[in-house]
Chain A
Amino acid sequence: MMDRLRDAPPSEAQRLVSAMEPIDVTPALAAGIRRRLDAPSRRRTNLRVLRLAIVVAVLLASAFAAAAAAHHVLHRAQPEPQTEPRKVEVAAVEQVVAQPVIVATTITTVEPVAATDTLSAPVATAKHVAPPKPAKASDEIDPEAPDAFLVIAAIQTLRHDGNATKADSLLVRYLQLHPNGALAEEALALRIEALAHDDDARAATIASRYLEQFPRGRYAEAARRARVRFAAP
């Protein structure tokens, strides 16, 4: 049998224990809890609402995170004319190099376009630029469609390999397939960069086309500069 601390000689532990009082249930306390017990539905509803709110918040957070990740991936594909060519990891290069082969097969199946036709296609002059075909809904909601690799491959080809002609042909293919696709703005901007890289005057035409489609686009300023620089005398 042990003695209780509150009966022990004074000490810090004895002081702390003695400060605590046994639970005192007053009639008011008992009645208060009982009243809440008899009207529990509101509390339960509140808990349900709270749980629902938490679930919605978690879902929103997940969606936001997914959107941010997708945006990050797409953002990396933006043209940055002023920056130095990026150093690319070997694994990434291998992946990108492998992709166009698959994509090319896909494109041939969907809409055969010869590379030479693409390069010599009269997209350089304004009168030959066909009005963009309305994009299918699926083009705009599926940024991870295989055709996106055309744009990614174009970036690598342009900035890593320095091959602007090949990059431009990849971008032309993408824009033929998806004139209003999710990456159309990036593809047009990259075309301007690719043509400007080779001092090709068609850059002005593409810049005009960009400004028509995206007058307030992210690369509008660069497009204006390109249009001025490559404008016909």
Chain B
Amino acid sequence: MTPSRPSIDVQSVAATFPVSVGERALTFDAVYRDYLRKVLQWARASGCPQADLEDVAQEVFLVVRRRLDDFDGENVGGWLYRITQRMTRDQRRRAWFRRVIFGETNEVERPAQATDDVLDARLTFMRVTSEMNPERRTAFVLFEVDGYSGEEIAELEGVPVGTVWRRLHQARREFVEIAERQSKRKEARR
């Protein structure tokens, strides 16, 4: 008799940050349903351009589907987080290639209700965070934008909570400095 597959407690996953597998079967559908939003958040926090988020999510879940049978089911969140970081890195590389070779730009999608000010602020936010240290940026975006707690970020990154707080402090300082620098540059161009 073969041991039963690890499973996800869908209710608890929906309510809290899932890092371990529960009692029910770990199926692709369940992983997709429960983690799609988080994969998109992690990709954005890792510096994926807004326009490429869906592509990265697709790549991540392609890997999930291919490797789910070999996955030990121990830490779904951590496993997906690492895949997302890798895919985001690849995507950033491809985006750089497209930008350099084909002159494409990373546009921020304009939601129907967004005003010019909001759009401008979003664009500035993306530009500023793209210049930040990657570890600090991830902690900063997850904490400030997506509302993660320090403990959740620590578990994702596999670092002590104290390290996350330190990164957040440094990230805020770095964010303000880069924003000021970019603002001055922008004014100088006018």
Contact = CB atoms under 8 A, between A and B. Distances in A.
Interface stretch (A30-38, A89-97, A105-113, A122-130): A30-38
B125 A12 contact: no
Contacts of A59: none
B121 A22 contact: no
Contact of A33 (B57, B143, B165, B176): B57
A23 B54 CA distance: 11
B61 interface: yes
Main secondary structure of the interface of A (DSSP, over half): helix
B147 A22 contact: yes
A37 B62 contact: yes
Interface size class of B (residues with CB under 8 A): 35 or more
B165 A2 contact: yes
Interface stretch (A13-21, A169-177, A183-191): A13-21
B44 interface: yes
B144 A6 contact: yes
Main secondary structure of the interface of B (DSSP, over half): helix
Nearest to A30: B36
Contacts of B61: 33, 37
B179 A23 contact: no
Contacts of A16: 121, 124-125, 128, 175, 179
Contacts of B128: 16
Given A2-B168, A4-B143, A33-B61, A23 B122 contact: no
Given A16-B128, A19-B122, A25 B58 contact: no
Interface size class of A (residues with CB under 8 A): 20 to 34
B36 A25 contact: yes
B100 interface: no
B54 A33 contact: yes
Contacts of B62: 37, 40
A29 interface: yes
Interface of B: 32-33, 36-37, 40-41, 44, 53-54, 57-58, 61-62, 65, 117-118, 121-122, 124-125, 128, 143-147, 150, 165, 168-169, 172, 175-176, 179-180, 183
